[in-house]
Amino acid sequence: MKDRKPGPNDACWCGSGRKYKKCHQAQDQAGAQGVVQPPAATPRRDPLHLDEEERNSMRRACAFNAQLMDYIRDYVKPGISTGEIDQLVHDYTIQHGHTPATLGYRGYTKSCCTSVNEVICHGVPGTQVLKEGDIINVDLTSIVDGWHGDQSETLLVGAVSDEALRVTQCSFDAMWAAIDALTPGCKVKEIGRAIQRVAKAAGFSVVKEFFGHGIGKRFHQRPHIPHFAENSHGNETLDPGMCFTIEPMINVGSWRSEVDRFDNWTAYTIDRKLSAQFEHTILMTEKGPEVMTLTKRGPQRGHKFTNSQPANV
């Protein structure tokens, strides 16, 4: 069984926040009609199910991306601007011989997304200067030898409010609950079920307009990974060899979002209440999920966010 296809005016499955017709529709149709064909001599590789060599390529891409996250985390302090963070991401990636995936992606002109406070996702780095009490999601995606690693963390800027701590904790716990719900061959909807359970217990809401996604040689591919459970979604199975992201966005208030009418990217909560997000790239193996973007120095499974941790001050 396949997921319901998005209509032309629905949000694109890729999580860009754009209408399907303006985003991946043409590409999907080209693929479906066989317009994009590998040369006859090339053995056809299934882009959704990776063999061992391809899994190793993903492991390398994700390991570099995690290293970049470890590098950037320490710079996120009061007084730095989101544009300066972007520059650091850009330069570190290029210096290591890799490519920021968002640069030039569908007209996006920056090397990462920086989503502060009431921004759900796709915050565009610029002149905003971080101040004590902010929370910021830094979303990094690198291309390493043609393969993508994608992850994000919500970082605390100095000491933050209790509400900010709780929504950050909730999105982190929701991501890990979803990872723990994965078994070889399970349905995508197990992810949304786990996330909604954690959000409900905390009294928060789950964003419905931006999805996790399959990932590999392409930044965004099938399956799409909703972070909520509804009958029409999530019927695909997650079989060994599949790579995808889990990236729940959790809101303190309404789950609804609104995209900035000027930059066409930045997605705000409709009520301007706080939103937090974490993201990992996952490989389903024959034995279960492998989290490919684990960091050495970031928050590990089970982490508790407090204001007294080695804070980013």
> How far is 165 from 135, CA to CA, in rounded Å?
9
Main-chain dihedrals φ then ψ at residue 220, nearest 5 degrees: -130, 125
**Which residues neighbour 127 within 8 Å (Cβ) at sequence distance 6 or greater?**
81, 82, 83
Residues 54, 118, 150, 153: which binds Co ion (CB under 5 A)?
A: 150
- C-beta separation of 123 from 269 below 8 A: no
Stretch touching Co ion by CB under 5 A, among 34-42, 229-237, 274-282, 302-310: 274-282
Smallest gap from residue 245 Cβ to Co ion (A):
4
Smallest gap from residue 147 Cβ to ligand MF3 (A):
15
Is 209 a binding residue for ligand MF3 by CB under 6 A? The answer is no
Assigned token pair, 199: 């959000």
Is 139 a binding residue for Co ion by CB under 5 A? The answer is yes
Q: Residues for the chain: how many in total?
A: 313
Assigned token pair, 141: 């995606």
> How far is 227 from 42, CA to CA, in rounded Å?
36
Task: Name the residue nearer to ligand MF3 (CB basis): 13 or 305.
Answer: 13
Is 153 a binding residue for Co ion by CB under 5 A? The answer is no
Residues 141, 169, 257, 281: which binds ligand MF3 (CB under 6 A)?
A: 141
Residues 169, 171, 196, 245: which binds Co ion (CB under 5 A)?
A: 245
Main-chain dihedrals φ then ψ at residue 49, nearest 5 degrees: -125, 110
Binding footprint of ligand MF3 on the chain (CB under 6 A): 15, 102, 105-106, 108, 113, 122, 139, 141, 150, 213, 245, 247, 265, 279
Binding footprint of Co ion on the chain (CB under 5 A): 139, 150, 152, 245, 279
